[in-house]
Structure 1
Amino acid sequence: MKIDARTVARVMKEISSWRAVLLYGDDAGLIRERAVAAVRQIVDDLEDPFRLARLEGDEQSRLEEEALALSLTGGRRVVWLREAQDGIAPMLERLLKQESDALIVLEGRGLGPRSKLRTLAEKHKKIAAIGCYPEEGRALSRTVTDTLSEDRITIDRDGLAWLMGHLGADRTLVRGELEKLRLYAGENGRLTLEDVHHSVGDSGGASLDDAVYAALAGDRFIADRSLERALADGANAIAFARVTLNVLERLQQVHLAMKDGKSRVEAMGALKPPVFFRRKEVFGRALDRWSYEALKCAASDTQHLEWVCKQSGGVSDAMECRRHLVRLCHPRAGTVA
């Protein structure tokens, strides 16, 4: 049964009432987080070999055997299969017609709408089919504030705005950055923009900033080096696209303010959050090279990049980022400032 996004939280709390759960989508970190949560509802010890059977993608043929096996120590068993593929759909359908109380947890990252396994799960009344996609906008902002509030930590508006533009799309990476902020702030702490910079500034997100600003300023060497560092640190194409769009939007805002009669200093000073002092010089160089029209074209291309990478499932995302970075080094002819 396909689970509506609005009811996922409730279904996850009652996952033990299902025979199987299929977790699919683009966010590998969220898929893994929910898989662990589902398993823990039945088995406390994830290392228990008697009640938990872990299967990798090349072990899918053992699914039925493991699901029908009896627990030697008593209690309900769990079969946890990673990299589930369409080939197990007939086996799963046959298995669910047999008597067994084992919970089957399937990780199916990348399964498309036409996938046989996903189609079966979304229609079968005994399977919870849950989509796992990157959080954006209000959902991501709520995750940030809710996580920090667990330690009664508050974050100011500028700090939250900067953080929202630099968090990656993968749940695991987001959680990692938030844990760093929790440790930095401490219980009952308050985070400012400067605090967020200090805590998150050395992560892949900061390298993405360096890459985008250097490209827009025309420094190909620094742009390439920073992007490679970011990718090596775990940054992905969605995070790259979001950082790029954020920078392009801020440059457009300054251009518009200058057209309205403000000086460059006044226009940059009006940005919220303000330009990080170490990037004011490179921000100015980018402003000199790019016209408002060129920035609009680049933003449109970046939105297309994000769409393409969401559809591809990560197959060639890194290469797409590298190509896009090269394009950012060169404003379109006829639209240079």
Structure 2
Amino acid sequence: MILKSYETTKNNFSKDKNIFLLYGENSGLKIEIKELIKAQKVDEFKKIETLNFWEEEILKSENIFYEEINSDSLFINKKVIIINKASNKFEKYLLDFIEKNNSNISLIMISELLDKKSKLRNLSEKNKKVFCIPCYQDKIDDLAKILNQELKKNNINISNESKNLILNRANGDRINLRNEIIKIISFSNFSKKITFENIKDLTNYSEEIDTGKFVNTCLNGDIIRFRKNLIELNLTSFNYILILKILSSKIQRLIKIKEQNNNQKNSEVLVDNYKPPIFWKEKVDVKKQINIFKLNYLKEIIFNLNKIELECKLNAQNSSIIFLNYLSKICKKANSYS
């Protein structure tokens, strides 16, 4: 059964279906629809197990696939099985899955461009149990719609000249576009007015940054350097889980330092006496952070990080925005204390 990609924006479009074929050259759109299906299944079943396979793995050892789809125990979580690089060779496995008719398991097949003669595409288009969703390249109007929706949702006003620059630098790819939008949203936490020059600096410039230094910049309340890091941030390889763990570790250490001797006010003494010893390059940052943050606020950050991590996992598509917004909030707070 054919479903147009724009129809996936309807609420709970996947509720009555558990088999999906996403094919075409638009990788960004396929990722978005895949994440949307997973999110809707979480809403529907509360808890799901996600399993990722490459078609090549299944072809080499098909027992992996059949063991998963034949699990009928009531105690097993609802599952979403994702098959990457699915081709016509997967047709027989799709037929077996349709025949099995296990409503506890959802199957998402992700393919490259499939021609009209494709067996996998034909089966998916004709079978009413399958949503077959073509994902063709975005037009400039599609990208402009995404940009305007995100700007409006986040109360960001920029000039048409700035919008055209963003769309131009996205180079027809919605993944690039969303990465640029994330930077702009994070930047807006520090500046309500965003100029064309700001957009020129923010967009289409990225490199790997030192995550440890990035976290210290945030905790030091260094807004100017933090904004510079946002510009340099490579969101294609952005790993919020890694940064979250580094941030959590640094906050936990600050808590321990403050708790080890509540009466001691001298940060030099607190840091020098801490065990295990703090690396000398970090001592300046740690001393500054001890003076900036109160113990209660540090504990509040730890509590909030657990909530932020859960929120990011439940909203994978927006995880970078959620996490960077919280980092920006901490940086602004630290700056107001320092």
The interval holding the TM-score normalised by the smaller chain is 0.5 to 0.7
Match in the other structure for 2:188: 185
CA deviations 1:83-127 (Å, max 9, x no partner) are 111111122123212231111111112333332111111111011
The Cα of 1:137 is off from its aligned counterpart by 2.2
Give me the whole-angstrom Cα distance separating, in 2, the residues matched to 1:30 and 1:4: 12
Which amino acid in structure 1 is aligned with residue 89 of structure 2?
A: G
1:234-249 map, 5 Å: none
- 2:168 is aligned with 1:173: no
Conserved? CA contact 1:22–1:105, under 8 Å: yes
Conserved? CA contact 2:167–2:177, under 8 Å: no
The Cα of 1:182 is off from its aligned counterpart by 1.1
1:141-290 map, 5 Å: 141-186=144-189, 189-203=192-206
Which amino acid in structure 1 is aligned with residue 165 of structure 2?
A: W
- 2:95 is aligned with 1:97: no
Give me the whole-angstrom Cα distance separating, in 2, the residues matched to 1:82 and 1:162: 34
Change (3 A) 1:7 1:33: closer
**2:110 maps to which of 107, 119, 124:** 107
Give me the whole-angstrom Cα distance separating, in 2, the residues matched to 1:51 and 1:75: 6
Q: Secondary structure at the match of 2:107?
A: strand
Give me the whole-angstrom Cα distance separating, in 2, the residues matched to 1:18 and 1:195: 44
Which amino acid in structure 2 is aligned with residue 146 of structure 1?
A: Q
Give me the whole-angstrom Cα distance separating, in 2, the residues matched to 1:75 and 1:157: 48
Match in the other structure for 2:241: none
Give me the whole-angstrom Cα distance separating, in 2, the residues matched to 1:169 and 1:64: 39
4+ aligned runs moved over 4 Å, structure 1: none
**Percent identity of equivalent pairs:** 22
Match in the other structure for 2:132: 129
Give me the whole-angstrom Cα distance separating, in 2, the residues matched to 1:190 and 1:129: 43
1:283-322 map, 5 Å: none
Give me the whole-angstrom Cα distance separating, in 2, the residues matched to 1:55 and 1:108: 13
Which amino acid in structure 1 is aligned with residue 185 of structure 2?
A: R
Conserved? CA contact 1:52–1:80, under 8 Å: yes
Match in the other structure for 1:281: none
Match in the other structure for 2:142: 139
For structure 2, list consecutive stretches of 5 or more residues without a partner in the other structure: 208-233, 237-338
Change (3 A) 1:199 1:106: same
CA deviations 1:5-57 (Å, max 9, x no partner) are 442322x732131130111111212212221221232247xxx8x83322123
Change (3 A) 1:55 1:71: farther
Give the number of aligned pairs: 202
Change (3 A) 1:187 1:115: farther
- 2:41 is aligned with 1:56: no
Give me the whole-angstrom Cα distance separating, in 2, the residues matched to 1:162 and 1:90: 47
Change (3 A) 1:169 1:137: closer
TM-score for both structures, normalised by structure 1: 0.54
The Cα of 1:172 is off from its aligned counterpart by 2.2
Give me the whole-angstrom Cα distance separating, in 2, the residues matched to 1:113 and 1:195: 46
Match in the other structure for 1:252: none
TM-score for both structures, normalised by structure 2: 0.53
Change (3 A) 1:170 1:16: same
Match in the other structure for 2:30: 31
Change (3 A) 1:145 1:124: same
The Cα of 1:74 is off from its aligned counterpart by 4.2
Q: Secondary structure at the match of 1:84?
A: coil
The Cα of 1:203 is off from its aligned counterpart by 4.6
The Cα of 1:199 is off from its aligned counterpart by 0.6
Q: Secondary structure at the match of 2:155?
A: coil
Match in the other structure for 2:3: 3
**1:117 maps to which of 117, 120, 131:** 120
Q: Secondary structure at the match of 2:3?
A: coil
Q: Secondary structure at the match of 2:31?
A: helix
The Cα of 1:145 is off from its aligned counterpart by 1.2
Change (3 A) 1:191 1:138: farther
Change (3 A) 1:202 1:53: closer
Change (3 A) 1:162 1:66: same
Give me the whole-angstrom Cα distance separating, in 1, the residues matched to 2:235 and 2:181: 16
Which amino acid in structure 1 is aligned with residue 115 of structure 2?
A: G
Which amino acid in structure 1 is aligned with residue 184 of structure 2?
A: L
Q: Secondary structure at the match of 1:179?
A: helix
Give me the whole-angstrom Cα distance separating, in 1, the residues matched to 2:15 and 2:6: 19
**2:88 maps to which of 57, 62, 86:** 86
Give me the whole-angstrom Cα distance separating, in 1, the residues matched to 2:42 and 2:67: 19
Which amino acid in structure 2 is aligned with residue 52 of structure 1?
A: T
After superposition, the CA RMSD in angstroms is 2.8
